Structures are given as C-alpha cells and as structure tokens.
Amino acid sequence: MRSAALAFFLTLGAPAHAAAEPHVVVATWDDAITPVTSEYLNEAMTRAVRDSADAFVVVLDTPGGLLDTTRDIVARFLDSEIPVLVWVGPAGARAASAGTFLTLAAHVAAMAPGTNIGAASPITMGGGGADSTLAHKMQNDAAAFIRTVAERRGRNVAWAERTVREATSSTEKEALEAHAIDLIAGSVEELLDQASGRTVQTKRGAVTLELHGARLDRYELNLRTKILALLANPNVAYLLLMLGFYGVFFELSNPGSVLPGIVGAIFLILAFYSMQQLPLNAAGLLMVMVGLILFILEIKVTSHGLLTIGGIIATVLGAVMLFDSPEPALRVSLRFVIPFTLFTALLFATGIGLAVRTMRQRPTTGREGMLGWRGRARTLLDPEGTVEVRGELWRARANESIEEGAPVEVTGAEGLVLRVRRPGVERGA
C-alpha cells in the first residue's frame, strides 16, 4: 500500500519537473563598448548565475569600442558558469569591431536577418600616422586574440582573422555559411527555440540547452548605469568640458557671481569623469584650452578677428584629437563640434565683448558719474562758492577765481564739495 502511494506521488511529481519553465536573463546593449558596458553585462551575468538561470542572452548592436574593455567581457563569457548566447539584432543592427569579438565568444552566436558582423581591424589612433611597427604589433595582437576566441568556441578561425587583418565584414548569411555564427533568428524567442537541444561546454561542464518557451527576465539599465552610459559619450564629455570652462571663466570675470563657478566646477568634474571612461588624448585637451584662451584674448586684444579664427581652428582640431580611438562612436562628432565652436566664437565675440565694453563705459551714477557735467557758478568762486549743476546747488572749489554766472565743469568731488574748472581748461592748469 505504501509502495503504491509513493509511486502515485512520484508520478505526479515527474510531469511537474519536466514542465518547469526555463529561465533566461536577457541584457541589451546598443551603444559603443566602454567600461560601462562591462559593468552592466557583469551585473546582468552575476544576477543570471545567482538566480540559477538556464542561459544568459545578450542582444547586441554596437559600432565597436575599447579593446581593453572587450577583453574583460570576452574573458567573462569564456569563463561563464552558464551558457551565454549573443544575438546581433534586431534587423539593421551590427556587431562591428569589438562586437565581433563578443559574438564569437558566446556559446551560441546568432544574428537577425538584415544584420552584419566584422571589420575588427585595430586602426591606428587618430586614423593613421602611427609608427608602422607599432601598427603591425597592434594588428598581430588583435589577430591572435580573435584566433584564440574562435578556436575556443570552434568557429572559423580563418574568417575571424580576416576580420582583423583585412577588415572584412559579412552579412548574417555569409557569417553562417562561414561557420562564424551558429544561427539566424528573427527574435530572441526564435533564438531560444533554435538553440534548444544544443550541447555547450561551460565552466561547470557540458550543458544541453532546453530553452523552449523560456521565461525572459530582461535586465534593464538602472538610472545609475544610464547616467554613466550618457557620460561615456564623447560628445557629452566635450560639451561638459566646454560648459565647465565657460562657468569658471564667467566666475573669474565677475567674482562673487557664485552660480557660474559652482555650475562650472560641477561640469568640469563630470567632464573629467567622462574622459576617464574614454581614450583621452592630452594633446587634444591642451588644444581645446588654447582655443578658449584665444577667444578670451580676442576680447582684450585688437586682432581684427585673427584670434577668433585661431580659436576656431584650435578648438576644432582639439575636439578631433581629444579622444584617441579608431571607432567613430568613441570620437567627438564634427557635426556636433563645428556648430558648437561657432556658437562659442559668437558668444565671446559679441556677448562677452559687449559686457566688457559696458564695464569700460564711464559711470553714469554716483560721484564718478558726475565727472564732466557742466553747470554755472551761482556765486563768486574764490576759490570756494556755490554752483548749479543739473538743477542742483552744490558747494564747489576751483583752482582759480571764477566769477558769478560763468560756466563751470565738474572734475571731481571731495565729500559733498565739487571740484570745478572753466570748460576747456586742462586739468591742473
């Protein structure tokens, strides 16, 4: 009787176990590969391992990124305790440069229709001009790295090396035919269905994927990561740098304003943090500073626009040089730099110039504002007497005798006593 009851309960439990819903953690990255990417994917993978997920899926769309960061992410993929699936998608997405390494490092690599992968050559910093030996070393290093990744995952090593040495790029169909990827899938759900039944080797051993109808747990970017990702944008870093300089300059020009100094200091700190996440070129930073100095000098020195032109050239060149990266996504865009630089030139040439000229104008109020005013002597000044200036009577003192009714000009004030002279007479005469 007991055996029959035990068999009954075991029979009930078996289907429940077999029908257990697979659990998959999904992370999405559609920007350049930066240290923020590594932090985000590391957090997502940690959560997947902690929750005993059946797989970790990365939805990838990237123009490339930093090689050091790519190495960190690839190392985590290769040493993963759970299966890692990379899906290049949706349609129109790409896994260029650094993205190629990440895709090849996955246990299962897939692409959506209408996507491409490749072009993983390490271009010399700034787009050229580096020593040929150094460039050759960089290429050999990247080629060896991608060969290692391809060999580890059993992918086409020759194809992978060509993406580095020849900068070749392939569509999803070409990549599948070359055995660079495993699947073509139109969605994450389709990827999981096609991947089911495959056996992959993880850190814990061989795992057979059973991912049909898996529950997708999407790991979203939190507010902190979104802010850090925004700060890792080179255009944002450049904007923060310029606004920070503006704030500090306005504060130094108008001591006591407080607000421009506070805002400028905050922007500069954020800019320095942003540049820490990016491949900063010190020469580019110095060039930008030279450009700003030239704009400031234009206010104080008559150069007939030459300093402004020099400032524009220096600022644009500095922005182009600011970040040493072959990836366009990790450089400041000229479409952003040129309008912003012209705005800066216009700001310094007009707004600040008008402010300086206003400060240089003669005061119109107070004692200083009375200098040059003219009136008439109401009594004999010998040397003191009374004068009328703009309808008001004042005690006045002159260096010479001035008869009653004679015109006078104010040259200064001592307390409530004006110093006057005859109009047209040089001061001190």
Contacts 24+ apart (CB under 8 A), 220-228: 221/40, 225/36, 225/39, 225/40, 225/43, 228/36, 228/39, 228/277
Find, among 203, 195, 199, the residue nearest to 49 by Cα. Answer: 203
More confident residue, 108 or 413: 108
Question: Choosing from 80, 97, 121, 274, which is the catalytic residue?
Answer: 97
Compute φ and ψ for 343, nearest 5 degrees.
-65, -40
Nearest CA among 265, 264, 317, 331 for reference residue 288: 317
Cβ neighbours of residue 115 under 8 Å, at least 6 residues apart?
88, 89, 91, 92, 93, 94, 95, 171, 172
Neighbours of 215 (CB within 10 A): 11
pLDDT at 113 over 60: yes
pLDDT at 261: 85
The whole-number pLDDT of residue 9 equals 44
233's CB contacts (< 8 A; 6+ apart) are 274
The CB density around residue 369, as the number of other CB atoms within 10 Å, is 11
* Closest to 90 in 3D by CA, of 159, 177, 213, 191: 191
Query: What pLDDT, in 10s, does the model give residues 361-380?
Result: 555 555 566 777 888 999 98
Is the pLDDT at 344 greater than 50? The verdict is yes
Q: How confident is the model at residue 60 (pLDDT cuts 50, 70, 90)?
A: very high
Longest Cα–Cα distance in the chain = 139
Q: Where are the alpha helices (DSSP H) in 26-78?
A: 35-50, 67-78
pTM for the structure as a whole: 0.69
Q: How far apart are CA 139 and CA 158, in angstroms?
A: 15
For residue 361, the model assigns a pLDDT of 57
| Measured CA distances, 370 to 92, 93, 375, 412, 418 (Å) | 73, 72, 11, 8, 9
**For residue 280, what pLDDT is reported?**
81
Q: What is the mean pLDDT of the chain?
A: 84
In terms of pLDDT, which residue wins out, 320 or 217?
A: 217
| pLDDT given for residue 278 in this prediction | 80
Q: Among 2.40.50.140, 1.20.1580.10, 3.60.20.10, 1.10.150.530, name the CATH number for the domain at 366-421.
A: 2.40.50.140
Give ∠ CA 179-181-182 in degrees, rounded to 5: 90
In angstroms, the CA 142 to CA 137 distance is 9
- Average pLDDT (173-181) is 96
Residue 349 has pLDDT above 70, yes or no: no
303 is catalytic: no
Tens digits of per-residue pLDDT, 199-208? 999 999 999 9
pLDDT at residue number 14: 42
**Phi, psi for 90 (deg, rounded to 5):** -80, -165
Determine the pLDDT at residue 426: 57
CATH number assigned to the domain covering 21-225? 3.90.226.10
Mean pLDDT value across residues 214-238: 89
Out of 137, 173, 203, 300, the active site residue is: 137
pLDDT in tens, 86-99: 999 999 999 999 99
**Residue 129's pLDDT is what?**
40
Q: Is the pLDDT reported for residue 3 higher than 70? A: no
Res 15: pLDDT:
44
Is residue 137 annotated as part of the catalytic site, yes or no?
Answer: yes
155-169, 175-189, 310-324: range with lowest mean pLDDT: 310-324
Looking at per-residue pLDDT, the higher value among 10 and 191 belongs to 191
Helix axis angle, 282-300 to 334-346, nearest 10°: 20
